[in-house]
Structure 1
Amino acid sequence: MIEVREVTKRYGTKTVVDKLSFTAKPGQVTGFLGPNGAGKSTTMRMIVGLDAPTSGDVLVNGHSYVQSAAPLQEMGVLLEAKAVHPGRSAVSHLLAMARTNGIPRSRVDEVIGLAGLSSVAHKRVGAFSLGMGQRLGIAAALLGDPAVIMLDEPVNGLDPEGVLWVRNLLAGLAAEGRTVMLSSHLMSEVSLIADHLVIVGRGRLLADTTVAGLATAEGVRVLSGDPANLRNVLGGPGVTITSGGPEELFVAGRTAREIGMAAAHYGIPLFELTPKTASLEEAFMDLTRDAVEYEAAR
């Protein structure tokens, strides 16, 4: 479990993280989201002890991560995939980590195979593509078979097969009861992976919710054999009805259940009821609109 409790981080007069609190729980994939400059990287650095909070507490499994007697077995971390000596091979990089943390050589071979790097295991990391570097970083995070995994942009540079591998890997780790936390700018991917969302802006908590809880209903697409009568039946204060075709209506202000019940009461045939929900990306943009530090001209 990762617990961030009333954490503030200041650099001089600049407050980067401001009284931030959230919990990433076992058995869940927690998506840690926010625009550039939101304080995500600083928060993750504080979780692993690379930066110290100005105030507040950051705990991993109930204590400070820097106090862990076996850090790689407790939490696996990917913050910067390129933070590897380019002259080392994948095997030598992971073996050095394993030997300094009491991890057997067999585990090195295991995570290399898991990450799909067996064919390049003895090649220099400096020649790796961005995607191969990401795979090595994830392999390093899994080296200690940790109960907590925290990854920053884990699918960056991966091809579709690699993205699917990461998605299934993280879902499987959470299903085993592990705590999984990831930061990503790919909203579509987060919506497929995450069970829990923590969204920050300008260092402050904006939302602590789920994908379903964040997305909002925008209306219902209706196909009917009698759209004119249905329009009359559904009309009322706060209801907007537009036509999309000879049999198609788009209704905002009524739920699919309300539409179906009204149509049944008046004997109006329905062929389709499709609720339209705002995507995670749309909901995220609305939520963080006032917290964007760098915005392109339009």
Structure 2
Amino acid sequence: MLNKLCLFVFIVFGLSQQVDAQIIKEFTVEKKHGFNLVQLDFSSYKGVSDIGKRYITSPIHIHGHLSKVNILPDFQYSIDNNVLKVVLNHQNVENENLGKSLSSKIFSNKQANFDHTWDVGLCEKFTYDLNFNFEIGKANLDLSELNVKKCKIKTVTADVDLNYKGHEHNPSEMDTMMVKVNMGTVNAVNIGHANASQVIFDVNYGKVNLNFPDPVSIKKSCRIATTVGAGAVYVVLPPTQYSYRVKIKSTAMCRTSLPGHLVEKGNKTYVSKGYRENAENLLTFEFDVSVGSLVLK
């Protein structure tokens, strides 16, 4: 009887270990020559992703922990017209329904609940065109000291943390930084370090938190447009001695709070005390909130 009980416990333990088992996948592009731009298309249906500079010599190194071994990503790359095209696509073959996906997003705060984790390593020696598609989960991006020409981020119900933690700005001039979220929260810190001509935040339902502690590294004018259908926008503006203007488009269903140091120019347009119309590093903030709140500090 004791032997049968031990066998039963062993089987149950083995099954539980199998359910919780993870598979580790490594994807690396070894090629280092024959191209002048790296175009990365990264797509994950669920998970927590960390993207940033790593101490590697290859243009791309991706490390993944997958909780379900039967759902494996597709990885491929090729060189065409001096562009290294890299694609990683992790699709959900189990057809998880939308209700379950939303509940995973709403009721889960733990990283483990998103099943998969990704570490996407980039190298400062290469120039990138980045395109990310996250369905459910969380994405943490630090593009400090990386050469990025374009960056587009799209999510279904994934939160996005975009934080330039390094002191150096993007060595390359970026055309567009765009973050488009259906439902979730966008946190962006030191986004001026992206060295972009325009930065676009588009959120249907959720929150946008922007922080501009010191724009001293901004070398050119930048348009920062934030659109929220329903939700909240909280912005820490640059110090008032810097040159920037604020344009607001809102409805009666949006509560707006502005700092006293802004100077009103009419038509819901405000400027800083250091505003100069022809400043080379002029920041233009555009806010469009339909329902919710807009708070500027």
Q: TM-score surpassing 0.5?
A: no
TM-score (norm 2): 0.25
* Structure 1 or 2: more helix by fraction: 1
Higher relative contact order (CA 8 A, sep 6+): 1
Larger Rg over CA atoms:
1
Higher strand share: 2
